[in-house]
Structure 1
């Protein structure tokens, strides 16, 4: 089924007390976050830098452990607070494609060695099976078999990212976490890699979680979008509905601040605008100091993510109005 369910996810860095019982400040990176990814779907995760997108991605693949909450795949809990995930099982279900394709590949190993590792350690293939599978993987990502004996530095950024995709496919996963997978590539190469990812999704019945700052790419690549602000999802909807009729004021500002999304341009925010302190989360809505619709109730309690339209949820007491 390839379904992902995240419930009450929290991640704090630091905290506790020193040897002399003095409190250690904690950074609240992810705060009570929950969502579902349907089988075969591409869910886009967008938001400003520092909103918790990459921390979320790392928890989904076991690189970070949740402070609280639970992550389930097809109903099976694979990561939860207080329990270390089985990384071998998790790696066979979920794979990560990194932002910088060149730095994610070991420069001392050939492509053959890089792609053989998951085939040997995760799939348990013998030498003959690995050779056959290596040829298949190179064909899937449109690279020539003779490239297997070269080193990562001999490839362009687009080719290196294709190798990264092949490495992820080698584990035969159900879900791919794509963390800014095309942001380091030229625009023309971005289109090639995105088209490749779309083809592979259909071919292998994959589910994608796509993290990006590029709203133009998100609009054309994703099925649904979740907007994060200060560690929480503040709006979630189908891509067309969210881009044409956003509900949360933060989503509106996010869309209006990016050139090329065909939206009006808002005046810049004041330099005196108050941003949330990750060491001391505000009592109410974290976006309230920047929000033109904020009222007293926004500053006293944090709104829950709730249905405002069919298949469209937002965490806002005073949503935007649409004709």
Structure 2
């Protein structure tokens, strides 16, 4: 994440101050060490770490500092709105990469093996803790049970464990709050009539915040998993009948980062590219770049030739009058 921000800023000729999350600062510090080893001049790649309690005051000071001309933020929609409000006082350029709650739509004519290969990555990488994770999986009714069985079979082969273990394929969530939220979402789904096809609980006896890879079937829009972004290894399966129903369900969220569609129908694919409310759309694949959303998922773009670098540049219009040679 920091590489895609820093890469564009450096390409534009900017120096930068990076404030990593208090929960995961080590990768940024490692990158700073590599930058120094590579010969970066002092003051080009600057890191400020702080505690969770000091984060609000430090972040506001950075946003308001007169030498800061551009702010890029990745985090929750609630905090992103605060960042935008603070930066608006100085009319500073802002890129906001916020929540996702991304839909993953599978039609009955899709290549199911291709769809599940993509879903395994889009759902389970980083234990579901990515803004572009496939959060809500909508499957057409004719293939629903078959698809659910295939996903369960593939998911059951995941190995939960520490990231340093060569056998691990699914790690922990980052905080105890994330673990509690995952438990609450599963319990809410069960209360509203969902079937738990796999998992649904903490990993007993594990040292850390490990949660079993979980598949919720028969999910409905009344459940928390439909309305909330799930930053955990929880996959929720929703059933739909028609294309119109799928689009309405996919767009029924305040967020609009990415949408994923699997179909062989080219006419349908073109309609969905227009109808789905998302800044990125993956058609029979994932969505990578340019990276950025719409609605309450934020604005601005990261990654991608020209587009990402432009976020760190100012365009000037220059008109020149030349003296006549006559």
- TM-score of the two chains, using structure 2 as the length reference: 0.28
- TM-score of the two chains, using structure 1 as the length reference: 0.28
Structure exhibiting the larger radius of gyration computed from Cα positions: 2
